[in-house]
Chain A
């Protein structure tokens, strides 16, 4: 208190994004960003969401007053389209590898595990030979580094309009250096899948030639698991009793 001015503290989400970026950078992934106020084309249409279909209800979307056609992005998945379209325009063809961490929005009531503002990390690997098996390998690598332990990754069937097949990803941490609360338990991590051919076509790519996967787990959830954070609302609380612990 007396002598020197201490260093400030980094928000845990920023720390996690920094760490994720380092891990993925080593695997050749480029970090991309994009607007939070997104057009319905990027957020829904180009991602193969049919108009007036219950699949859109899965999203609890914030629409804007007097701004037809725009939403607060409900996921980072629109950045897949943005990135691929831009690359194609520049004449740069796959392979592509990107991650896109960032804030997303769901119009839902908040509680200890739900927040209207949350963070996702989108990942995409596209090429001529990228398989679902590579997704397992990539998740294992990422999670074992983030959680500093042995990780098993398991897939379950799911549905997203922009992936086919679509999966839910679960992981299990094993080994004595994993804290007891997480050890040996299957934990739900988030959605993923093989990029739907229509999404590639919508981005101007030949879906007969290229294939790959995309994923979009929640960063808040990963942070909560990693550090044992008990309330997602702490992330936006601005409370240093929380932040200064990181």
Chain B
């Protein structure tokens, strides 16, 4: 979520520290900050709110609350701690929840005589700072409250709704078969019968896709004067399914998906009305609140001993007391047991371990000591299947085979994955041989570069048949037939222990350009050490020589012929014949400075 530093500051009298300190505070005690963008006199932090805190922290208030706890700076006022009640009630709008389990609360506010127009500058600025486009004072008020305290809101043009004897009726229902709806942005959506809609209860006309997107028909525009405002609590899981099915995700749907506390709707409606009255005038006729089951109050208890037993710390009562105070978690304390009255917006706190996490992260994970595990008194079991693969690896490697891993995704197979990103190769392999053949071909081109006489590779990996998954062992080499058997069938010699691990210190990126191979052979006196010849070659070949090696030798009278294979390659380009010829000439002329050497 994009968080404006200036906006967060509004919650405090005391100035917050600089943006780096804010970012560190959040990262080490709450959420990772992905990046910070400077914008005019503001800093916009991109905060990765975790899915367990979408209930309360996809809002500036939520982030301010966190900072207050972490930095120990009290908030000047927390809008969610005010004691409020919505009034007056009105019977001008009635609400019917046909799908009670999909909408746990629906508050409608009825306002008459507003003047729709542009928002005041401060409001436009707030929204622009976090990348939102100001539209008009009504829509902007809804968005502002959402980004301020986390509750999505909506406004309908009341005059578009049917009034019977001056009374409106809001209906929350599932979409009918083949029902379609035009959304605010003039796009038509074909709805499924699992979609929840907000509709006009008198004529059944759909007004919006609940919690996701408003409808075009009753949208607020410049001519609107009377409003029906919505602050509702739609069911997260069903809304999420709908948003995915329609491929329609919005800032509102993202918040509902995380499940919102119904109590929040009261605060949001109050804030919405207050802001509209300020920026668009109008008269509040009243509210109607369909709220069949009130949100339950929850308590969770944890003892100091439990906290220390889980964290491995020696925290004292006073530290826990202090943490709960900072977090504004009301508690009772009795002989080391802290019973917390969980605030309505903290839906994430339900078990003692949740409170332990709160304590750990606010106090700081750097306070957790480093302790070695106690000795383990049981004997670790030997995993026979793993041991077998290890022995097979060693056996094959000792025979010159190198281990490759090839992709499990293929163009054909007996089983297939859905929706693979990119769409390419959606089948699960039913053999290793196909992948190994490709890997062999690819490596044969680099044989000289690798200094191999013969490319030999193996893979131990999973394959899938129609009815089962199993591990196979496959080998392939030039001039050899491909062998593939299941791990169960494979035979290994038990015995070897302490199998070697790689001693390589650093990997060297290899050139992506082709290598050029040249051979050089020469007659030399029988007493000549071939290493000496190779040394001359290496010293005169220039930096493009990447590999050299003796590959042939024969004796003729008192002379010996040695043949060397040289491989040239550049990290930056494809080599030309000329470049390689120049290097070869330099080698030849240096070698023939020795009158006893004769290039063949």
Which A residues form the contact surface with B (CB < 8 A)?
1-2, 5-16, 18-19, 21-22, 25, 27-33, 35-37, 50-55, 57-58, 60, 62-65, 67, 72, 95, 97, 103, 107-109, 116-117, 125, 129-134, 136-138, 140-141, 153-159, 161, 164-168, 179, 194, 196-197, 211, 227-230, 235-236, 238-246
A238-B435 contact, Cβ under 8 Å, with A134-B371, A245-B508? yes
CB nearest neighbor in A for B449: A241
Q: Which residues of B contact A32 (CB under 8 A)?
A: 383
The 21 sampled A-B contact pairs (Cβ below 8 Å) are A2-B552, A5-B399, A8-B399, A10-B393, A11-B404, A30-B383, A36-B462, A95-B378, A116-B409, A131-B311, A131-B371, A159-B52, A164-B354, A165-B357, A194-B310, A238-B457, A240-B450, A240-B457, A242-B507, A243-B404, A245-B507
Residues of A within 8 A of B28 (CB): 156-157
Chain A residue nearest in CB terms to B564: A1
The contact string, 1 if C-beta is below 8 Å from chain A, for chain B 541-566, is 00000000111110000000000010
Task: Tell me the minimal C-beta distance from B427 to chain A in angstroms.
Answer: 9
Of B145-153, B215-223, B496-504, B580-588, the stretch lying at the interface with chain A is: B496-504
Q: How far is the CB of B374 from chain A (nearest CB, A)?
A: 8
Contacts of B565 in A (CB 8 A): 1
For B375, list chain A residues within 8 Å (CB). 28
Judge if B102 is at the interface, Cβ distance under 8 Å. no
Binding site for A on B (CB under 8 A): 27-32, 50-54, 236-238, 240-241, 254, 257-258, 309-313, 351, 353-354, 356-357, 360-361, 365-366, 368-378, 380-381, 383, 385-386, 390, 393, 396-409, 415-422, 426, 428, 435-436, 438-439, 442-443, 446, 449-453, 455-458, 462, 464, 469, 499-502, 504-510, 549-553, 565
> Is there an interface contact between B404 and A133, defined as CB atoms closer than 8 Å?
no
CB-CB nearest in chain B for A128 = B309
List 6 tightest A-B contacts by C-beta distance, closest first. A28-B376, A133-B312, A131-B312, A238-B439, A52-B237, A159-B50
Nearest chain B CB to A1 CB, angstrom units? 5
On whether the beta carbons of A55 and B373 are closer than 8 Å, the reply is: no
Q: Which residue of A lies closest to B28 (CB)?
A: A156
List residues of chain B with CB within 8 A of the CB of A54: 51, 54, 240, 254, 257-258
Q: Which residues of B contact A30 (CB under 8 A)?
A: 380-381, 383
Residues of the A chain whose Cβ atoms lie less than 8 Å from the Cβ of B452:
1, 6, 240
With a cutoff of 8 Å between Cβ atoms, the chain A residues found around residue B373 in the complex are 27-28, 97, 125, 130, 134, 137-138
**Chain A residues with CB below 8 A from B385, complex form:** 33
User: Using Cβ atoms and an 8 Å threshold, which residues of chain B touch A230?
Assistant: 507, 509
Among B52, B53, B309, B456, which residue has its beta carbon within 8 angstroms of that of A131? Answer: B309
- Looking at A1, A161, A238, the one whose CB has the most chain B CB atoms below 10 A away is A238
Cα of A57 to Cα of B553 in the assembled complex, Å:
63
Asked whether, in the complex, the Cβ of A240 is within 8 Å of the Cβ of B236, the reply is no
Q: Is the CB of A33 within 8 A of B553?
A: no
- Chain A residues, Cβ within 8 Å of B313: 133
A5 in contact with B400 given A15-B501, A132-B368, A158-B50 (CB within 8 Å): yes
Give the complex CA separation of A8 and B428 in angstroms: 28
Q: Are B368 and A155 within 8 A (Cβ)?
A: yes
Q: Are A132 and B310 in contact (CB under 8 A)?
A: yes
- A170 to B23, alpha carbons, bound, how many Å? 17
Collect the chain A residues with CB atoms within 8 Å of residue B509's CB. Answer: 230
In whole angstroms, what is the CA distance A234 to B257 when docked?
38
Within the complex, the shortest CB–CB distance from A3 to chain B, in Å, comes to: 9
Is there an interface contact between B417 and A52, defined as CB atoms closer than 8 Å?
no
Most buried by A among B390, B446, B451, B502: B502
Residues in B with CB closer than 8 Å to A60 are 421
A63 touching B442 by the CB < 8 A rule?
no
Whether A164 contacts B357 in the complex (CB less than 8 A), given A30-B380, A132-B311, comes out as yes
Minimal beta-carbon separation of B479 from chain A (angstroms): 13
